[in-house]
Amino acid sequence: MNCEPSFLRSSLAVALCLLGLAIQAPAAPAHPNVIYFTSFERNEGFDPKLTLLGQSKWGGFGSGGNGILTNSFSGPGQAAYIGFAPPIGTDDVFNVWRPIDLAPLSSNQTLITFSVSMRVVDSTNNRFDDFRWSVYNTNQARLFTLDFDNLALDISYALDDAKGFVSTGVAFDGDGYYDVVIQMNFARNLWSASLNGSIIVNSKPITTVGAALNLGDIDAVWAIQEPGSPGNNYMIFDDYLITAEATGSIPPAIEPLGFSTKGLFRVRVYGEQGLNYVIETSSDLQKWELLKEFTAPSGGVFDFQDADASRSQLRFYRTRQKL
């Protein structure tokens, strides 16, 4: 198994290597239906001399800096941004979005996946704000939010239950480039999120208050922590993609946790509460053997300890839903 960083970032085979052992998760289902995609390039009609608002049906609420940047992300080309320039007056929230309006969701759109590459660029005026990805339905009700707090450098989420933000326990920094993936199972009212391939939110309700389960838009948000005193920080984002698939659940993910104090190798599976899953193991990626069957508990997270892992020089794991 190739454990070089470039291999580990492959979207076709996610591999995590630890102490000579490799954990592999199956690739996601192929050929989903693309609902909307943009990389904000000129050939898509995006002009870096103009604001993002007003281009290719992108709209907004509130005020503040926004537009198209060139050669400012992880390579050549264009990307969008929100933030930097102060809003008008004391506006403290600025949303930009491109309408999607999937309502009602058809039988081949039960799983919606949103992915985007992003970076939060630090302030130079010693004021720091939040940048968010917020999902709305077609009634303009906010369903849930994934928040990047540029003061605490903490990632949190909020549901529509008015209980406020909950920390994921995952940090970020202004030098990092991040791939965010949010998967929404509208049939079972559940969503999960990952950052650079690692699960940070698992199986949370899309709505807790019975809001309409459809997709209106997915917004980039600048939330100013001190109204009237914004930072000049900003969020760059690129490769904004929304796809739809006909599937009964969010694909499970598997993560290595390392060896326990008793020498047992620990793996964690992220699934959906109440569904049945299997963990399989292999030494060559050709022949797979059943290791464990289980039903995902409340929260969908299941931890397993493999007593035989230390006997193998190289051991692979994968998980899948048992139908």
pLDDT digits (tens, 9 = 90+) for 107-125: 889 999 999 999 999 999 9
Which DSSP string do the residues of 15-38 spell out, in sequence order?
A: EEEETTEEEEEPPPPS-PEEEEEE
Burial class for 193, CB neighbours closer than 10 Å (0-12, 13-18, 19+): buried
pTM of the complete model = 0.90
> C-alpha distances in angstroms, 277 versus 146, 165, 176, 318?
27, 30, 34, 10
The domains found in the chain, sorted by start residue, are: 5-28+251-321 (no CATH), 33-245 (2.60.120.200)
Kindly report, residue by residue over 59-77, the tens digit of the pLDDT: 999 999 999 999 887 678 9
pLDDT at 23: 56
pLDDT at 260: 87
7 pLDDT above the threshold of 80: no
Share the mean pLDDT of the chain. 90
Contact 39, 77 (CB under 8 A): yes
Kindly report, residue by residue over 215-244, the tens digit of the pLDDT: 999 999 999 999 999 999 999 999 999 999
b/e code 269-302 from CB counts within 10 Å (16+ = b) = bbbbeebebbbbbbeeeeebeebbebebeeebbb
Contact 176, 73 (CB under 8 A): no
User: In whole angstroms, what is the distance from residue 58 CA to residue 36 CA?
Assistant: 12
Would you place residue 5 in the very low, low, confident or very high pLDDT band (cuts 50, 70, 90)? very low
State the alpha helices, DSSP H only, in 165-322.
Answer: none
Copy the structure tokens of residue 274: 């109440």
